[in-house]
Amino acid sequence: MSKHKRARRPLAAVAAVLAVAASTVTVSVYAYGDEQTSAAAIGGHDDEEHDLLSAKELTLRENRVAAVDKVLQGEATAEAKGASKRIEYAEGKYSETSRTTDRVFVLPVEFGDTVDTTYGGLAGPSHNEIAEPDRSVDTSTVWTEDYSPAYYQRQLFGTASAKTGDTLKSYYLRQSSGAYELTGTVQEWTRVDYSISHYGTDACKKNGASISTYYCNEQLTTDGLNAWYEGRLAAGQTKSEIDKYLASYDKWDRNDFDADGIFNEPDGYLDRVMITFAGESQTNGGGVNGTNAIGAHRGTVSYLQDDADTLGPDNGNLAGGSEVGDSGIWANDYTMTNENRGLGTIAHEYGHDLGLPDLYDTSGGENSTGFWTVMSNGSLLTDDEQLSAHPGDLGAWSKLQLGWLDYETAEAATASTHTLNALSVDSSVKGAEALVVSLPDDANGKARYYIVENRQYVGDDRYLENGPYNLGWASTYPKKKERLSYEEGVMIWYWNTAYANNRTKTNAGYGRILPLDSHAEPALDTTGAVVRNRLQSYDAPFGLKDTTALTFHLGGVEATIPSHEGVAVFDDINGTYHYDTAPYGSSYDADSGTTVTVKQEYRDGRVKIAVGASE
């Protein structure tokens, strides 16, 4: 028995109720009866499909990881270059970091009456046709009376206030500590000829052969932008005026296509494109359109495009995609979300456009990232009436990738002491928000790190106190949720560069960046089955205080994970953080002989931690 192991965690429950219902209450680590099993992605699709990247984009993302590793190893530095910084990750090759501003082209698109006979389905929809949910049985569906361009303008580019709520602009200003600002204009609703089934069908075909639904999805970007262009001409604008306007959204060379190390220059493509489609997301059932609806995703028009490397603007940037009308400006990268998306969903998808990957398991399992990051279920943090009301914190690892993290460094198994502010603390508070512990490379020379962060109920982490949720009445009220609480404390994540994703189901329990749970031994339900992983990780933080019990429902039956003593010491030799009984939810560590100890928790939310060697 290791010093951090303890007895299994049975669920305490209302005895009389469980005595009757125990035979019907089961929870599997693999299947949960929960419609919202992933963060803004269609269940069962992998992350290349949800986060549709061209080969160039995939390379760009991995180059960024390599560049950050170079900085952490002391082999490179980030140098300012225009409206961002760059890191030389190889001789004469640069990765961009620390962007300061972007202008986003936002196009709401509704659908026409022409039904594609190949796919069938209903005509439309137009916007504002989503039925108001019955809040007595549906506390999940996002809804407002009028999804006007003004509504989206405020949601995306307005300033957060207690009266009008949060915005995407304000969220990313906070996450970047004031370094990054979004601007843009939401266009008028634009109608395409075809109904939604032409773009959303799960039976998508290309030249008569079945193909991923995302091939049909991405056509909406092309058709929507072309319909907008033709609409501007029909409204009396000149071609010159429209082309000039589009060119104002091309200020950034996303892929440094001319290899000059300068990112802040036009590249012939719209920099950031957001498509909002009328109707509900297939992720949440698709409403009246069901499997003909579209799921929220981030994509590239070139993803499944024939001869993409031969297509592009006249400047020679052949990245694929499609020209917007006859403007000479092209579109490729985009995010696409449903009409009634919550702010958390759009924050998640925009995180992809900034270069961040999904951190939940996209292979059909469920890892332990849970609600700890907006790139997992933290995009779905709830209020009383709807999911995705609040985006959670990006997390230290994602901020590190974007150049937005104030951090200190330490060496494995080497004594050092550090004081950390809360990760989501106000930008006016100076000091480190995280600690990056460099570990020995693995046997194949792959870099490894521990990322240590301090999670407190401040800033965007305040929503951890009652924003996580559970759908505890799946068979009777599938959209009725209960609000839960994640714990405060010191989170320790294992960053293993040997893995390109967090698909613990297909990676035999390993992933790129996974939390190490201070209370890792799995909780069991009354039948002995393992409780789902995103509930298991509610008490993952290390700290000095006892945990708070977690009460929730399983098939309508109340159950409780009881309080446990706080765990102050992480020890990757003597501690146990992975269990075969929860193979995809618990996490392996580096076995480096490193300890991280919570020494003191201050009243202002700071913590003192000590790095040392295992005994």
pLDDT reading at 35 higher than 90? no
| pLDDT tens profile 357-412 | 999 999 989 999 999 999 999 999 999 999 999 999 999 999 999 999 999 999 99
Q: Average pLDDT of 474-499?
A: 96
From CA 519, how far away is CA 386, in angstroms rounded?
30
Question: Is residue 323 within 8 Å of residue 467, measured between CB atoms?
Answer: no
Of the pLDDT bands very low, low, confident and very high (cuts 50, 70, 90), residue 50 is low
| pLDDT tens profile 414-431 | 999 999 999 999 888 999
Around 173, how many Cα atoms within 13 Å sit in the side-chain half-sphere?
15
Sign of CA dihedral 328, 333, 339, 341: negative
Beta strands in 456-593 (DSSP E): 469-470, 482-483, 489-496, 513-516, 523-524, 550-554, 557-561, 569-571
Q: Tell me, what DSSP letter sits at residue 387?
A: T
pLDDT reading at 42 higher than 60? no
pLDDT reading at 297 higher than 50? yes
Structure tokens at 134: 């019955």
Question: Is residue 358 within 8 Å of residue 501, measured between CB atoms?
Answer: yes
Residue at token pair 């279920």: 377
The answer, yes or no, to whether the previous bond of 133 is cis (omega within 30 of 0) is: no
Pairing of strands 482-483, 101-110: unpaired
> CA torsion angle for 197, 198, 200, 205 (degrees, to 10)?
120
Q: Estimate to the nearest angstrom the gap between the alpha carbon of 182 and the chain centroid.
A: 18
Distances (CA, A) of 155 to 166, 268, 468, 568: 7, 28, 22, 40
Q: Strand order in 78-81's β-sheet?
A: 78-81, 84-90, 93-97
Cβ-proximal residues to 466 (8 Å cutoff; 6+ apart), any chain:
483, 484, 485
- DSSP per residue over 106-138, as a string? EEEEE--SB--TTT-----PPTT-SPPP-TTT-
Question: Is residue 467 within 8 Å of residue 30, measured between CB atoms?
Answer: no
H/E run at residue 70: helix 55-72
The per-residue pLDDT for 341 is 97
The whole model's pTM is what? Answer: 0.92
From CA 171, how far away is CA 461, in angstroms rounded?
12
Of the pLDDT bands very low, low, confident and very high (cuts 50, 70, 90), residue 55 is confident
Cβ-proximal residues to 233 (8 Å cutoff; 6+ apart), any chain:
239, 242, 325
How high does pLDDT run on average in the chain?
91
User: CA geometry: angle at 130 spanning 126 and 133, to 5°?
Assistant: 175
Q: Average pLDDT of 66-95?
A: 93
Of the pLDDT bands very low, low, confident and very high (cuts 50, 70, 90), residue 31 is very low
Question: Is residue 3 within 8 Å of residue 574, measured between CB atoms?
Answer: yes
Residue closest to 140 by CA, chosen among 463, 387, 413: 387
H/E run at residue 598: strand 594-601
Structure tokens at 220: 């909406």
Residue at token pair 């990051």: 373
| pLDDT tens profile 301-323 | 999 999 999 999 999 999 999 99
From CA 432, how far away is CA 422, in angstroms rounded?
9
Residue closest to 326 by CA, chosen among 216, 431, 429, 242: 242
Of the pLDDT bands very low, low, confident and very high (cuts 50, 70, 90), residue 58 is confident
| pLDDT tens profile 190-218 | 999 999 999 999 999 999 999 999 999 99
Q: Tell me, what DSSP letter sits at residue 73?
A: T
93 backbone dihedrals φ, ψ, rounded to 5°: -120, 135
Beta strands in 150-220 (DSSP E): 181-186, 190-191, 205-206, 209-210
Q: Which residues pair with 299 in a beta bridge?
A: 334
Residue closest to 99 by CA, chosen among 251, 248, 245, 244: 251
Amino acid at 168: L
Q: Report helix angle 213-234 to 239-247, nearest 10.
A: 130
From CA 601, how far away is CA 579, in angstroms rounded?
29
What is the distance in angstroms between the CA of the first residue and the CA of the last residue of the chain? 15
Q: Estimate to the nearest angstrom the gap between the alpha carbon of 261 and the chain centroid.
A: 28
Question: Is residue 350 within 8 Å of residue 168, measured between CB atoms?
Answer: yes
Which 3 state secondary structure label does DSSP give 333? strand
Q: Report helix angle 149-157 to 343-353, nearest 10.
A: 60
Which 3 state secondary structure label does DSSP give 272? strand
Residue at token pair 């580019």: 157
- CB count within 10 Å of CB 328 equals 15
Q: Tell me, what DSSP letter sits at residue 154?
A: H
Question: Is residue 394 within 8 Å of residue 424, measured between CB atoms?
Answer: no
From CA 154, how far away is CA 169, in angstroms rounded?
9
| pLDDT tens profile 232-269 | 999 999 999 999 999 999 999 999 999 999 999 999 99
Structure tokens at 435: 């600690």
Which 3 state secondary structure label does DSSP give 448? strand
Burial class (CB in 10 A: 0-12, 13-18, 19+), 576: middle
Which 3 state secondary structure label does DSSP give 397? helix
From CA 477, how far away is CA 318, in angstroms rounded?
50
- DSSP per residue over 485-503, as a string? -PPPEEEEEEEETT-SS--
| pLDDT tens profile 532-583 | 999 999 999 999 999 999 999 998 988 889 999 999 999 999 999 999 999 9
From CA 421, how far away is CA 556, in angstroms rounded?
40
